[in-house]
Amino acid sequence: MRKLFGTDGVRGRANSHPMTAEMALRLGAAAGRYFRRDGKDTHRVVIGKDTRLSCYMLETALTAGLTSTGMNVLLLGPVPTPAVGMLTTSMRADVGIMISASHNPHEDNGIKFFGPDGFKLSDAAEEEIEALLEAGVEPAKPENIGRAKRIDDGRFRYQERVKSTLPHGMTLDGLKVVIDCANGAAYRAAPEVLWELGAEVVHLGVSPNGRNINDGVGSTAPQAAAEAVRAHGAHVGICLDGDADRVLILDETGAQADGDQIMALLAARWAEEGRLKDGTLVATVMSNLGLEHFLAACGLKLHRTPVGDRYVVEAMRRHGWNLGGEQSGHIVMTDYATTGDGLLAGLQFLAEMVRIGRPASELAKSFEPCPQLLKNVRYAAGKAPLEAEEVKAAIAAAEKRLEGQGRLLIRKSGTEPLIRVMAEHADPAVLSEVVEELAGAVERAA
């Protein structure tokens, strides 16, 4: 079982275990040794990062660990997570690494790994890297130590790739777009792409200082962007998170469309064009029942996976499906990218606006969501609230009450010390009672 890796790499509070310089160095060495097993003479790794202050520390430590095992390191600087997946393959690297804690506050950070195919590593590969880390890694001989080099045009390569996903000749002329970059990794790439495609751009969250990533801006805090949409009379708003692998769309009134609504729009459109492989959309257990009902009415199928875009991608690759994602806004289109890409998904939404000439409000609500309520309960280290008898009894009672009319999902977060309690039911009063009672039981056990 993995001890360090969660649902999306290794993550924690900066300068605390496991996000220390020492651990990053050891992790880099273990990853370097793992990816040098093929016997080739030269090996390379690309490293990207978001705008957190701690990224400097972790980037330097990872570079030291990787070069100590003979890996040549190519440093991309601040780029979106999907850029790392793309550049890992285009630069023929053995491994890609993104330093980011995504939508978390600046105090947190994380390390995500991509294989040579540009996809995130499997559970088995992460377990092997952990085993190497625990056993200790023998460094390379002095003459085989790796080099490090800055790559100045990585962001531009990514921008050109994203722009190429729009139909040939299509522009965004006449569209006024609010783009909120969360003071994160896409603070330069996203506004530039939109401007180069012809949009009038109103930008927020483009002044990172190392400590303001996701702070009152971005996909987890869209209020400022919604106000900007209304104040500037914009046609649409696009809110990214800290590493730009997820997106939230705002229509011209400032109303929000989450990942489920974006996936519904794209799935229906792709099905019309004969592009949706096997008529199937892949989503997680968190996606709304309304999405499932919408797809069924369209004659399409929904395949659910555990929470985490990596599990969505694994299912897509296993079965040859090409569209999937999460309610949180990770949208994965394997025809274009190897991981969730918020900017790419936003452009696909804009392309639909241009193609059919309808306002964002008509495209942003493909279905009526089933009432859904989510409550997070924080727990202390060493606690296992889901093992408490009171909690088990509360779960059984909740499932019985919802049976046949809704559903319940309770799970540990893979990135934070939280228990997530989520339920769906047509009656909001019943929904609230069930979630509050169950969350209360978890709080007492935590």
pLDDT in tens, 309-318: 889 999 999 9
pLDDT, residue 258, reads 96
Task: Report d(CA 79, CA 279) in Å as an integer.
Answer: 33
Model pLDDT for residues 85-139, shown as the tens digit of each residue: 999 999 999 999 999 999 999 999 999 999 999 999 988 999 999 999 999 999 9
Which helix (H) or strand (E) element contains residue 437?
A: helix 428-445
CA count, 13 A, side-chain hemisphere, 387? 4
Is the confidence at residue 223, as pLDDT, over 90? yes
- pTM for this predicted structure: 0.90
Cβ 12 vs Cβ 108: under 8 Å: yes
Domains and CATH numbers, the chain: 5-152 (3.40.120.10), 158-252 (3.40.120.10), 259-363 (3.40.120.10), 372-445 (3.30.310.50)
361-376 per-position pLDDT tens digit = 999 999 999 998 999 9
pLDDT averaged over the chain? 95
* Res 381: pLDDT: 79
pLDDT 10s digits, 248-296: 999 999 999 999 999 999 999 999 999 999 999 999 999 998 999 999 9
- Other beta carbons within 10 Å of 247: 32
What are the tokens at 339?
Answer: 């991981």
What is the arrangement of strands in the sheet containing 72-78, beginning at the earlier edge strand?
A: 5-6, 9-13, 108-114, 95-99, 44-49, 72-78, 148-150
Using an 8 Å Cβ cutoff, are 344 and 162 in contact? yes
CA distance 364 to 269: 13
- pLDDT tens-digit map of 378-389: 998 778 899 999
In DSSP terms, 78 is beta-bridged to 49
Percentage helix, strand, coil for the chain under 3-state DSSP, each rounded to 5: 40, 20, 40
Cis link prior to 18 (omega < 30° from 0)?
yes
Which 3 state secondary structure label does DSSP give 446?
Answer: coil
Which residues share a beta bridge with 110? 11
Cα separation, 318 vs 164, whole angstroms? 26
100 counts as catalytic? no
For residue 424, what are its two tokens? 């769906």
Query: Which residue's structure tokens are 């999306």?
Result: 8
Contact 113, 95 (CB under 8 A): yes
Structure confidence at residue 1 (pLDDT): 67
d(CA 404, CA 261): 24
The whole-angstrom separation of Cα 327 and Cα 422 is: 13
- Exactly one of 54, 68, 100, 102 is catalytic; which is it? 102
Q: What is the pLDDT of residues 319-368, one digit of tens each?
A: 999 999 999 999 999 999 999 999 999 999 999 999 999 999 999 999 99
Strands 323-325, 280-284: pairing is parallel
